Structure 1
Amino acid sequence: MGIERQQILTKIQSVSGKTSNNRYLKAISNGLISILPVIIIGAFATLLANMNIGGYQDFIESIGLKTMFMIPANVTTGMLALYTVFFIAYRLASYFEKDGVGAGLIALICFLVLTPLSQLDDANVIPVEYLGAKGLFVAIIVGLTVSRLYVLIIDSKFLIRLPDSVPPTIGKSFNNLVPGIVITIIFTIVNVLFQLTTYENVHEFIYSILQAPLLNLGGGYWSLVVMILVIHLLWFIGVHGMLVVLPIYYSIWMPLGLENLDAIAAGETPTNIVHTGFYTTFISLGGAGATLGLCILMAFFAKSKRYKSLGKISLPASIFSINEPITFGTPIILNPYMFIPFIFAPLIIGTISYFTMLSGIIPIANGTHLPIGTPIILGPIVQGGLILIIWQFICIGMSVLIYYPFFRALDRKALTEEISSES
């Protein structure tokens, strides 16, 4: 049985490793990671322009600050798809050891080729609705497709060759000319074909057929449960669960948060409970497994020298959601004592937080994407303020209570071993 168990674990780890190392999935996750500064700048600008504090809105409108705050918001989160398509194409081409900048530039051109123009005062304008969250899935698809076509054309050697005397920068630009022309023609044909359908353009087709259903599915309670279980079951057997699900985490949950920010910018109430900000702020407390509660127990209540020292060493990092010290120091991986709290602490906290927001007891987090490593307190400040700060501390308290009986069993065992070794 031991050998069979090890073989199963090895196969799971192998599949998970291949998934997390897949070039296309890495391009999506790392491309979206690359635009985090854009998202954070836009989120802060939106919040500054729309904070619902008595007298604040009247004040910033009277001196023109509201309009000023919305300028960076409009060109960051309002045009997120433009940055996304470039960086996803850039990343994928780089993984094939090709010119990422060239691929990214062509992808940006093709994305705009697929974006319909509108008439305004006898001028052609690009509707911004397709440049933000609504165009994100098209940006992902175009980024991957263009970059892969770019790699195929470059590998075919069907390029314009210039003499060796030509400077390398100019030569590289001409290398991108043939793939740029060919790929742009392909996407122009695609655009024309979609104009003949009832959808009229690719954006409406992808949003109706793919993006809207996935966001509706991904924004529900059961998608939250599945995501938590997958992440933590993988972690428990020694696989970095978050790395495996990052493409889904970013491509589905990030747009849900952006939709909330768009609603706030329009003076409406956000409706999406599940998004990356929700997970980072209320579930990933101390990292995978909501282990901040375990760190607190070890640092302040452990009787064994081993776990007291481990808790004190791990606590500062855990405040920033870095829990490798406690994950491998306890250890939590494949530790039967830790299976139940490690899996069920984030699940219980996530469930209670979800339904507390759904019932209106606490406000829905605004959806600002927060990078992994955001310290406690800062997250809820950005997500909505005082009430959510209090709720985060309640969540930490839940983590402490869930881990307590299992921690006591481990601590007693370690204390007994320490006493035996000293006698």
Structure 2
Amino acid sequence: MSKVNQFLEEKVMPVAAKVAQQRHLNALRDGLILSMPLIIIGSFFLILANFPIQSYMDFLAERPQLKESLLYPYRGTFELMTLIAVFGIGYRLAESYKVDPLAAGAVSLSAYFVGTPYVTYIIGKTPEGVDITETAYQTAMFTSKGLFVGMLIALLCTEIYRLIVQRNLVIKLPDGVPPAVARSFTALIPGFFAIIAIWVIRLLVENVGTFGSIHNVITVLLQKPLTSIGTSLAGTMIIFLLITLLWSTGLHGATIVGAVTGPIWLTLTAENAKSFELGEPVQHIVTNEINDIVFMGGSGTTLGLVLAMLLFAKSQQMKQLGRLSIGPGIFNINEPVLFGMPIVMNPLLIVPFIFTPLISVLITYLAMDWGIVAKPIGIVPPWTMPPILQGYLITGSISGAILQIVILVLSFLIYYPFFRLWDKQKAKEEAAGGEEQ
């Protein structure tokens, strides 16, 4: 046991701590978090427009305008994911460098439009038969389809921005000028070079090679390979292993790993949501919501452990902890268990903490791949939504709720023997303490 603790402390924790402090990963994470409230709001209206009850669906089918009006908030929230994330990433990265975050966010957003191709639409004809055209951006690039490009542009532009500001290559106005005006002029030179950089990259991509656009370059060279790895069964299990391993050392595994997986999985969530909106079969098993399906009670799928404490604890400490943990656990908050039991740095309980999610991921993936359980439909419920109801909303099917019940039972069965050993040890300690008194 001591060797395991020593390995975690000496090998895992230093690396994980450095990753957790990496400013670019933190900016990606926090920038994406900025879009989450709007994604959840959009998901609510997507549910209203596609609620899986046949009579309700028939009612909306007879009133297509009503269904379309229900999707207005969805299009104004969920489908602006990339624009919000670009601003948020630029803002958070600049904030970490202690330069003007609002200006950096605005420059990043502007640069994204500079790097995004637009198309020409024929909207009619003149009386002489000449086409009437209109040039516009493709709104698809504001959705998850543009997220990878947006992330990279935000990081690059903010780095250019802060380098120029930190080298003091800015326009300075007299002290009597209002601060807001002075800041806007400070952003002029760094903003100019950041936008020029993206403009030059776009011209090079469009005129050299066959990619055609920055978006195509990223899709072919980065997004597709990363998506393939991050959504395979093996890749997903490795991701969940890393999350629980980091939590075992006391580091927020979901936050650290999510900085990398979040952009990939959110993109797939949005693709499933689009398919669901159009009435087409959803394609992706692994989306951002696989966290919610598997991690019932919090990371490590600890709700089964909390139930074991609540129902079968012998020691007073575990009985009390079970009563205190059940409320938060129902809403997927498990810090009382992680640090109160504790699971963190506890070799006995780390074993089920790691293996329960891995087995749950395997069951979830295979059940969806074989068609036993419906795939996620792109709905993003709040992460604090209680299990079972959460499974139903994520999949739009009772099979999702049943899957979570199965995982909950599995969690209980895996944790139980380890819990009994720990509880027995605590009961002995309490008995020994009582005898001493």
TM-score, L = length of structure 1: 0.94
Residue 198 (structure 1) aligns with: 210
Are 1:20 and 2:20 an aligned pair? yes
Task: Provide Cα deviations, 1:364-394, integer angstroms capped at 9, x if missing partner.
Answer: 1223334543332442242124332222122
CA distance in 1: counterparts of 2:5 and 2:54, whole angstroms? 60
Residue 126 (structure 2) aligns with: none
The one-letter code sitting in structure 1 at the alignment partner of 2:93 is L
Residue 393 (structure 2) aligns with: 382
Q: Report the Cα offset of residue 96 of structure 1.
A: 0.5
Are 1:55 and 2:66 an aligned pair? no
Residue 216 (structure 1) aligns with: 228
Are 1:244 and 2:245 an aligned pair? no
CA distance in 2: counterparts of 1:322 and 1:4, whole angstroms? 26
1:241-320 equivalent positions in 2, closer than 5 A: 241-280=253-292, 282-320=293-331
Are the aligned partners of 1:40 and 1:369 in contact in 2 as well (CA < 8 Å)? yes
Are the aligned partners of 1:36 and 1:371 in contact in 2 as well (CA < 8 Å)? no
Are 1:46 and 2:46 an aligned pair? yes
1:77-116 equivalent positions in 2, closer than 5 A: 77-116=78-117
Residue 355 (structure 1) aligns with: 366
The one-letter code sitting in structure 2 at the alignment partner of 1:81 is T
Going from structure 1 to structure 2, the CA distance change for 1:393 and 1:360 (only over 3 Å counts) comes to same
Are the aligned partners of 1:254 and 1:369 in contact in 2 as well (CA < 8 Å)? no
The one-letter code sitting in structure 1 at the alignment partner of 2:284 is N
Q: Report the Cα offset of residue 40 of structure 1.
A: 1.1
Task: Provide Cα deviations, 1:166-198, integer angstroms capped at 9, x if missing partner.
Answer: 211111111112222222222112111111131
3-state SS of paired residue (1:273): coil
Residue 70 (structure 1) aligns with: 71
Q: How many residues in Structure 1 have an aligned counterpart in Structure 2?
A: 422
CA distance in 1: counterparts of 2:389 and 2:372, whole angstroms? 21
CA distance in 1: counterparts of 2:55 and 2:206, whole angstroms? 48
Are 1:421 and 2:422 an aligned pair? no
CA distance in 2: counterparts of 1:316 and 1:45, whole angstroms? 28
CA distance in 2: counterparts of 1:284 and 1:346, whole angstroms? 7
Q: Report the Cα offset of residue 97 of structure 1.
A: 0.7
Q: Report the Cα offset of residue 403 of structure 1.
A: 1.0
3-state SS of paired residue (1:35): helix
Q: Report the Cα offset of residue 58 of structure 1.
A: 3.6
What is the percent sequence identity of the aligned residues? 36
Task: Provide Cα deviations, 1:253-290, integer angstroms capped at 9, x if missing partner.
Answer: 2211111111112221112111221211x211111211
CA distance in 2: counterparts of 1:8 and 1:44, whole angstroms? 41
Q: Report the Cα offset of residue 318 of structure 1.
A: 1.1
Going from structure 1 to structure 2, the CA distance change for 1:349 and 1:3 (only over 3 Å counts) comes to closer
Going from structure 1 to structure 2, the CA distance change for 1:2 and 1:219 (only over 3 Å counts) comes to closer
3-state SS of paired residue (1:290): coil
Are the aligned partners of 1:233 and 1:343 in contact in 2 as well (CA < 8 Å)? yes
Residue 125 (structure 2) aligns with: none
Are the aligned partners of 1:298 and 1:307 in contact in 2 as well (CA < 8 Å)? yes
3-state SS of paired residue (2:135): strand
The one-letter code sitting in structure 1 at the alignment partner of 2:422 is L
3-state SS of paired residue (1:267): coil
Are 1:167 and 2:178 an aligned pair? yes
CA distance in 2: counterparts of 1:30 and 1:274, whole angstroms? 22
3-state SS of paired residue (2:345): coil
Residue 152 (structure 1) aligns with: 163
Are the aligned partners of 2:23 and 2:96 in contact in 1 as well (CA < 8 Å)? yes
Going from structure 1 to structure 2, the CA distance change for 1:404 and 1:164 (only over 3 Å counts) comes to same
Q: Report the Cα offset of residue 2 of structure 1.
A: 6.0
* Range 260-269 or range 368-377, more displaced: 368-377
Q: Report the Cα offset of residue 10 of structure 1.
A: 3.1
5+ residue gaps, structure 2: 123-132
3-state SS of paired residue (1:337): helix
* Range 76-85 or range 143-152, more displaced: 76-85
The one-letter code sitting in structure 1 at the alignment partner of 2:25 is L
CA distance in 2: counterparts of 1:233 and 1:184, whole angstroms? 41
Task: Provide Cα deviations, 1:227-256, integer angstroms capped at 9, x if missing partner.
Answer: 111111222233322232121231222211
Are the aligned partners of 2:160 and 2:193 in contact in 1 as well (CA < 8 Å)? no
Equivalent residue for 1:391, pick from 372, 381, 403: 403
CA distance in 2: counterparts of 1:365 and 1:372, whole angstroms? 15
Q: Report the Cα offset of residue 321 of structure 1.
A: 1.5
Q: Report the Cα offset of residue 357 of structure 1.
A: 1.0
Residue 130 (structure 2) aligns with: none
Going from structure 1 to structure 2, the CA distance change for 1:398 and 1:21 (only over 3 Å counts) comes to same
Going from structure 1 to structure 2, the CA distance change for 1:113 and 1:225 (only over 3 Å counts) comes to same
TM-score, L = length of structure 2: 0.91
CA distance in 2: counterparts of 1:12 and 1:181, whole angstroms? 42
Are the aligned partners of 2:35 and 2:85 in contact in 1 as well (CA < 8 Å)? yes
